[in-house]
Chains A and B, each alone.
Chain A
Amino acid sequence: MEKKQYELCLEILRRFHQKNILNNFVLIGSWCIVFYKDYFASVPYINHTTLRTRDMDFLISKPDKIKQTIDIPTLLKDLGFVTTFRGPKGFIKLDHPDLIIEFLVPAKGRGSERLYSVPKLGLNAEVLRFLDFLSENTIKVKIEDFYLNLPHPANFALHKLIVFQRRDKEDKAIKDRNIAIEILKALISKEEENIIEGVFKSIPGKWQRKVIRGLEETEGKEILQILRKKD
């Protein structure tokens, strides 16, 4: 299952790259952890095979800037993906026994629409808060002959620390929090404390307080010290 799942994931990325749409996306969610392995090649890093769900989330940071017209459900149909519409507004999910693909768009302020239609890609994306934070600082990782956009691990981890407190399900919240701590520890091992600090200082005070509150609930004392250095 593991190998098949990874192969399927690569095939999706290959197809997006061939159709010139991969650059419009930032891969977020638990699949980032897999692709961060090269970034953290020199330091101890999470065993990324442990707790990963099938969700593969693509963030479309600038949906208005998409130029190509590619119907994504049709592009992936022959791989066996079936299209389903979720939620009261009907955002799209592409289901396969090995992967579940979703598309997300950052919310512009509180109370904005929950659904964003991207007709050029033949889909409806779900609108969520705090996603801008993931797309404003990204890294590129090389896969085969193309590059994949990922949020910088510092942004990814701090984002997880903000959102885990908003989770309804406790187990998901714990999972998010643990991943965030592990990634921040890996960044510290890589001597990138200054990046964590820089990213933390760039976010609004309210978000900073959420991050601190999230860390206080855990054993992230070392991380707290870094964030409180010049607080």
Chain B
Amino acid sequence: MRGVIKGVLKEELQNSLRMKKEYEQALKNLPQGCLAVRNIRGHKYYYLVRRIDKRVKYIYKGKISEEEKQKYKEAKELRAKYRNLLSRVKKQVRFLRSSLRGKEAV
């Protein structure tokens, strides 16, 4: 039974390590930055706020299509979700590694 549990844990660790890579890649693939809107004389103008090196930059986008707004909205939601899930995967990896270590060499 002990061998079975260890085997399952090892497989789960491999799965979690694979997922960690996948979430990191998925985060990289999302469009960078967030949209910020400025209301100037009744007109809405959009800026893309993103970090370049250590500084936060506002890049002027002007008037943008609904499609593009939707794209950044979805990216923002997915980024939050993926970050949360990535943090859970990292916790799983730590837990599985410590469980597998036990009292003997893995």
Q: Which residues of A contact B (CB under 8 A)?
A: 51, 53-54, 77-78, 80, 82, 84, 95-97, 100, 169-172, 174-175, 178
Partner of A171, one of B7, B22, B81: B7
A142 smallest CB distance to B (angstroms): 30
B23 pairs with A82, CB closer than 8 A: yes
Q: Measured between alpha carbons, how far is A78 from B85 in the docked complex, in Å?
A: 12
A80 pairs with B12, CB closer than 8 A: no
The bracket for how many chain B residues form the interface is: 20 to 34
B81 pairs with A80, CB closer than 8 A: yes
Minimum-distance CB pairs A-B, first 3: A171-B7, A97-B88, A82-B22
B75 smallest CB distance to A (angstroms): 12
B19 pairs with A51, CB closer than 8 A: no
How many residue pairs at the A-B interface have CB separations less than 8 Å? 52
B31 smallest CB distance to A (angstroms): 15
Residues of B within 8 A of A80 (CB): 81-82, 84-85
B89 smallest CB distance to A (angstroms): 5
The answer to whether B102 has its CB under 8 Å from any CB of chain A is: no
A175 pairs with B22, CB closer than 8 A: no
A169 pairs with B92, CB closer than 8 A: no
B87 smallest CB distance to A (angstroms): 9
Cβ < 8 Å to A, chain B residues 36-58 = none
B39 smallest CB distance to A (angstroms): 30
Known: A51-B8, A96-B85. 14 other contacts (CB 8 A): A51-B4, A51-B5, A53-B12, A80-B82, A80-B85, A82-B19, A82-B22, A82-B23, A95-B19, A95-B22, A169-B7, A171-B6, A174-B4, A175-B8
Q: Measured between alpha carbons, how far is A54 from B13 in the docked complex, in Å?
A: 11
A171 pairs with B12, CB closer than 8 A: no
B93 smallest CB distance to A (angstroms): 10
A126 smallest CB distance to B (angstroms): 16
Cβ < 8 Å to A, chain B residues 55-72 = none
The answer to whether B15 has its CB under 8 Å from any CB of chain A is: yes
B102 smallest CB distance to A (angstroms): 15
Residues of B within 8 A of A174 (CB): 3-4
Q: Measured between alpha carbons, how far is A96 from B82 in the docked complex, in Å?
A: 10
B7 pairs with A172, CB closer than 8 A: yes
Residues of B within 8 A of A175 (CB): 4, 7-8
